[in-house]
Structure 1
Amino acid sequence: MQLLLYPVITILTFLSMEVITWCTHKYIMHGFLWYLHEDHHQPKYQGVFEKNDWFFVIFAIPSILLFWYGVLPNINYLFFIGFGILCYGLTYFLIHDVLIHQRFKWFKKTKNKYLIGLRKAHKIHHKHLNKEDGECFGMLYVPYKYFKNQMV
């Protein structure tokens, strides 16, 4: 039974991370931790790293702790919650830093409608250079309006 339960825990954790990401982005990153996120909203940031990159470290801590406590004394459900968070973090990196912001030039030209919609929604998010009046705070969920009129 546990062997079937562990993949379900991982998948549910991964899906839950979209909601957690949306809330964290809107209320924490665009709230009291804006000073860490602000440089990410400035046009053409020139550094290799941004202060915003600290969020990768901050969000990795729960995953690391869950891995640690998920193997003591035997592997348990905490490990798979940590694994779900890790999978979401890797997906976030690939979507946000590689595909959208092109910090690494791996996927420059995509014709995938979903990925184009993701880029449009994120561009609208970055249209706001301050912490107020933002929209599109999630990563994987994109409102339908960003898929309309796509020429692929």
Structure 2
Amino acid sequence: MSSLAAILIVLASVAGMEFVAWASHKYIMHGFGWAWHRDHHEPHDRLLEKNDLYAVFGAGISIAMFAVGSPLVMANRAWEPGTWIGLGVLVYGIIYTLIHDGLVHQRYFRWVPKRGYAKRLVQAHKLHHATIGKEGGVSFGFVVARNPAVLKRELRAQRAKGIAVLRDAVEER
């Protein structure tokens, strides 16, 4: 496999993981997987959350893809793109950890962006946390952030339809 093909597979995997993360956040974490995700939406002073189990699951996917691409593990049946997909999933996991856990939730460092895309990411995810419970909500992605003004309108529309229960602070934002 050429170096260019490997790089393109890694980049496509990173980009594809944002869709996978969005869909799993919206339909699994805010659906049947709410038991693991709930504590992420509730105040606490613990270092770890049950929600962190989703990161362990993502790491397992990356490791499995590395194994599929490894001739040491798969002998004569190795599928080389698996290595590069595994690397893309790993890169996305690092980006997720730095942006979501680090920047947005400030679990690893303290920095509040004042402008630009970093500020938009923080605002969009704060609006995601503006609902109480698993119903409704906006901004389920982790790296792609839509306009916060549009997200606020969507939240208000959800509240008006009885889909979402909003925290009081949303009206002040």
Three-state SS of the structure 2 residue aligned to 1:103 is coil
Q: Comparing both structures, which one devotes a greater share of its residues to helix?
A: 2
Conserved in 1, the CA contact under 8 Å of 2:69 and 2:80? yes
Q: TM-score if structure 2 supplies the norm length?
A: 0.79
Instruction: Summarize the alignment of residues 101-140 of structure 1 with structure 2, pairs less than 5 Å apart.
Output: 101-105=105-109, 107-140=110-143
Instruction: Summarize the alignment of residues 41-80 of structure 1 with structure 2, pairs less than 5 Å apart.
Output: 41-43=41-43, 45-72=44-71, 73=75, 76-80=80-84
Conserved in 2, the CA contact under 8 Å of 1:120 and 1:146? no
Conserved in 1, the CA contact under 8 Å of 2:127 and 2:148? no
% identity of equivalent residues: 40
Q: TM-score if structure 1 supplies the norm length?
A: 0.89
Conserved in 2, the CA contact under 8 Å of 1:67 and 1:78? yes
Q: How many residues align?
A: 145
Alignment partners' CA distance in 2, 1:28 and 1:75: 29
1:109 deviation in Å? 3.5
* Counterpart residue identity of residue 40, structure 1: H
Conserved in 1, the CA contact under 8 Å of 2:127 and 2:138? yes
Alignment partners' CA distance in 1, 2:132 and 2:111: 24
Cα distance 1:113–1:89, how it changes in 2: closer, same or farther (>3 A)? same
Cα distance 1:6–1:90, how it changes in 2: closer, same or farther (>3 A)? same
Runs of 4+ in 1 over 3 A off after TM superposition: none
Matched residue, 1:9? 9
Instruction: Summarize the alignment of residues 2-41 of structure 1 with structure 2, pairs less than 5 Å apart.
Output: 2-41=2-41
Please identify the structure whose Cα radius of gyration is greater. 2
Higher relative contact order (CA 8 A, sep 6+): 1
Conserved in 2, the CA contact under 8 Å of 1:63 and 1:83? yes
Query: Which sections of structure 1, spanning at least 5 residues, go unmatched?
Result: 148-152
